[in-house]
Each structure stands twice: as C-alpha cells, then as structure tokens.
Amino acid sequence: MPAPLNAQLANTYPLHLATLAERTTRALEATGFDALLLHSGSRLMVFEDDRTYPFIAHAPFRAWAPLNDAPDSFIYVAPGQRPRLILHQPRDYWHQPPAVPSGYWAEHFDIRTVPEPSAARAQLPQNLSDTAYIGDPLPELEPWGVRAVNPAALMRRLDYARAQKTAYEIVCLREANRTGVAGHRAAREAFYADASEFEIELAFLRASGLREQELPYNPIVALNAAAAVLHYQLLGRSPPPERHSMLIDAGTEFAGYASDITRTYARQADDFAALIEAMDRLQQRLAHEVRPGLDWRALHLRCHELLATLLHEADLVRCPPEEALARGLTRLFLPHGLGHLLGLEVHDVGARLASPEGPEEIPRPHADPALRLTRVLEPGFVVTLEPGLYFIDSLLEGARADGRAGLLNWTRIGELARCGGIRIEDDLVVTPAGCENLTREAFQSAG
C-alpha cells in the first residue's frame, strides 16, 4: 500500500530541490552567471478596468515552490546557499494576502515577507550584477542592477532539463491524475443522465474539488458533432434534442502540476461505440511501444500507420491502408500531433530542443506541422498520448476537391459525422523499462 500523499511529498521534495539546485548551478556556470532571481508573475489588468485576470504563477517559480496565489513574489537562488523566498504580503483589505507558507517544502527555504514588490530589493544581495532574472520585466527592476532579464541561453538549459521529472514531480502528477479521473467519472455520469455541456463541466468541477480558474486549462466538453472542433470552447446551457456522443478533454492541477485527460463516450451501443473501442485498442497499442530511446516522431508516424488500418477496417476509406497513408487520408481524420510533454505547463517546455545549448530545434515531420514533441524519450519524461479520429467538414471537403473523393466512403462518414469524433488521452511516465500509465492506474484505482 502506498504511503500517504503528504508523506510521499515530504520524502521526495528534498531530492527534487537538490536536483533543481544542481541543474541551476550547471546552467549558471555554463552561461556565466552567479545567481538566479525568479519572479512569480504579476496580476494582469483587464483592459480599461480595475479588475485583474485570474493569476497564474510562472512555471520556473512554481518548480521551486508550489505557490499558486503569491503574485510579485521572488525566489533567489545562489549555488551552495539555501534558496530565499521573498513573499509579497501586501497590507490589503480588498483581497486576502497570501499566508506565510509552511509544510513539507517551506522548511527548506529562507522565507521573508515584504509589503510591496519594490521592498524585495532590500532582501537581496547588494550586488546583483552577475544575477540572471526570469520573470516579468517589472518597472522597478532596472535600478536593481541585474545583469540580464530572461536570458535565452540560460532559459533553454533550464527548459531542456525540465523535461525529465523528479520523483516528487511524478507524485504530484499522479495526484493530478487521481483528481482528474474523479472529475471525469462524474462527467460521464452526467452525460448519461442527459445533462448539458455546462452541467457536465459543473459535475467535473464538483468532483475534482477545484474551481475553473484552478484548472490547468478550461475543460472541453463537446456533445455530438461539436467533438469535431479540436479545441471546442463553448458550453451549451441546454441539452441537445438528440444525444449521440460526448468528448471531454479536462485535467486538474496539484501543487502546480497538470493532468491532461480525454475520453469519448457513445450514448448507445452502436457503430460509434465500436469505433471508440477500436481507437482505445489503438491507443493502448501505442502506449506499449513507449520506452526510452524512442523518437517521438517515429511513434507519431506509427500512429498514422495504425490509423490507416483502422480506417480501412471501419470502412471509412475505400483503399488499402498503404494507399490511405500515402495519399494523406489519415491526416484528414487526425490533423493534430500524438502528444506533448506534460508537467508545470500543460504543453511543457523544451519539447523540441535539440540540446541544452540550443537554439536548434528538432524539426517536425513535413506533413505534421502541429506536432509539439520531437525529442527522443528519456526516463522521467512525462508525455500525453492522444490519438484521435474526427469528422471535420473543412478537411473532408478539401479531399472532395483535390481528387481523393473516390477514396472515401461518404455514406459511412455521413452516418458517423453526427458524433463529431474521438480522442483518447492518457498521461504516461517514461520508465527505464517502458512506461507507467498514470491515467489508467487512476481509473483502475477509482473502480
């Protein structure tokens, strides 16, 4: 039986902190800096208004401290020294100031509070001439005397290393999958209870225990043909007169780390339900191929090979799989990439960097300009695996006009288009022997 969550966090965070310190020291030495100053970010004002957008702390800051509501705070990192957290704690009666943190991670920091951002300068070394700063270019920053603001060479090295997650980060990602799956299960029940898209999202939020601004991204809840819109952004308030399918792409966040989970459901045990099962088998077949040393571009191309066979077997194309692949038919049904890095960002950084030195990037396949990940997998990488099959009018109509119309079974496509499409997405940790599927484990544990 696994240890309680708090014990896991307390046991793994010290090594996580040591790993961050080691990576940062190497990056500073390689780029000629002595120290690093991280900014949590500032509240952004709504245009011509006196209110702000929901605050999201910058990921480089959250890598050190899981503070989600501490705008204009700083972390000072110098090799060989205890990291210093300068917490902005305004004297404010409009909003609740952040409390001084405590617990498993806070005990490893030298914590100081300041009433305004400019007061943070007095809590820093007098000489910052060899310090790099990552964050918003604040107006008060210029007289502080930092050497560089957001230096690209340093940030590339840090971003490249961030792809490899520590044991602490995997604990956080596993917990984000657990709460995300709780939300998904509630959303599925709401779908079968004939709820609207809006009501389904409310069910997801209630079960996950988060409000919308605490999620890593706004959920996609698409009923029927709306599932063909990849980033569908609407939430219908009324249930549709007929209910054929639901695609839900929704994740949660824990200690700054995101889950990213997608499931598709059919209302009836019909042809579309069988197609979902076939796509699920395809996704799991790809998951079994995930391992260290695998070029993600190769797995993406492998996905299209398997999809060509599925399209042929489902009688959606009227040509052999080899011809469907060669004529680009699979990309009519799957125009997006197979997956991406996951971590502090939903689409985590460093996914295409060729080396920590940069700036070269590993190119995408010519036919797949939307592929977000091109690196060779290493142990500790966390990736999403999300093949899809959609009935997208604009892409299919393009095939009518370019000579490929005879290769498609338009009658069959017309029968299934009312369901929109299918996406099945899991979060995988690359291990020395293969991968661990955080999402499937969470569904299994939930019963």
CATH number at residue 211: 3.90.230.10
Report the alpha-carbon distance of residue 243 to residue 246 in Å, rounded. Answer: 8
Q: What is the mean pLDDT of residues 184-203?
A: 98
For residue 2, the model assigns a pLDDT of 82
117 and 185 in a single domain? The answer is: no
Q: Which of 115, 140, 162 is at the close of a domain? A: 162
Query: Three-state DSSP class for 253?
Result: strand
111 and 181 in a single domain? The answer is: no
Strand partners, 148: 132
Look up the pTM and report it. Answer: 0.97
Q: pLDDT tier at 77 (50, 70, 90 boundaries)?
A: very high
CATH number of the domain bearing residue 15: 3.40.350.10
How many whole angstroms from its chain centre is CA 213? 15
Report the alpha-carbon distance of residue 59 to residue 71 in Å, rounded. Answer: 13
Q: pLDDT tier at 105 (50, 70, 90 boundaries)?
A: very high
298 and 349 in a single domain? The answer is: yes
Residues 6+ apart with CB under 8 A from 150: 133, 134, 135, 137
Q: What is the mean pLDDT of residues 395-416?
A: 96
Report the alpha-carbon distance of residue 142 to residue 313 in Å, rounded. Answer: 64
Q: Which of 103, 138, 162 is at the close of a domain? A: 162
How many whole angstroms from its chain centre is CA 109? 28
Report the alpha-carbon distance of residue 351 to residue 341 in Å, rounded. Answer: 6
152 and 176 in a single domain? The answer is: no
Q: What is the mean pLDDT of residues 44-62?
A: 96
Q: pLDDT tier at 80 (50, 70, 90 boundaries)?
A: very high
Q: What is the pLDDT of residues 158-168, one digit of tens each?
A: 999 999 999 99
Given a cut of 90, whether residue 139 has pLDDT beyond it is no
87 and 228 in a single domain? The answer is: no
Q: pLDDT tier at 358 (50, 70, 90 boundaries)?
A: confident
Q: What is the pLDDT of residues 275-304, one digit of tens each?
A: 999 999 999 999 999 999 999 999 999 999
The number of domains in the chain is 2
Given a cut of 90, whether residue 140 has pLDDT beyond it is no
Q: pLDDT tier at 447 (50, 70, 90 boundaries)?
A: confident
15 and 140 in a single domain? The answer is: yes
For residue 359, the model assigns a pLDDT of 85
Question: Which token pair is 175?
Answer: 């917990």
Q: What is the mean pLDDT of residues 113-117?
A: 96
In the numeric block, the tokens 């008060």 are attached to 140
Q: What is the mean pLDDT of residues 198-222?
A: 97
158 and 174 in a single domain? The answer is: no
In the chain, what is the greatest distance between 2 CA atoms, to the nearest angstrom?
Answer: 74
Q: pLDDT tier at 380 (50, 70, 90 boundaries)?
A: very high
107 and 252 in a single domain? The answer is: no
DSSP letters, 259-325, are --EEEEEESSSSHHHHHHHHHHHHHHHHHTT--TT-BHHHHHHHHHHHHHHHHHHTTSBSS-HHHHH
Q: Which of 136, 162, 188 is at the close of a domain? A: 162
Of 410 and 3, the one with more pLDDT: 410
Given a cut of 90, whether residue 110 has pLDDT beyond it is yes
Range of the domain at 175: 167-446
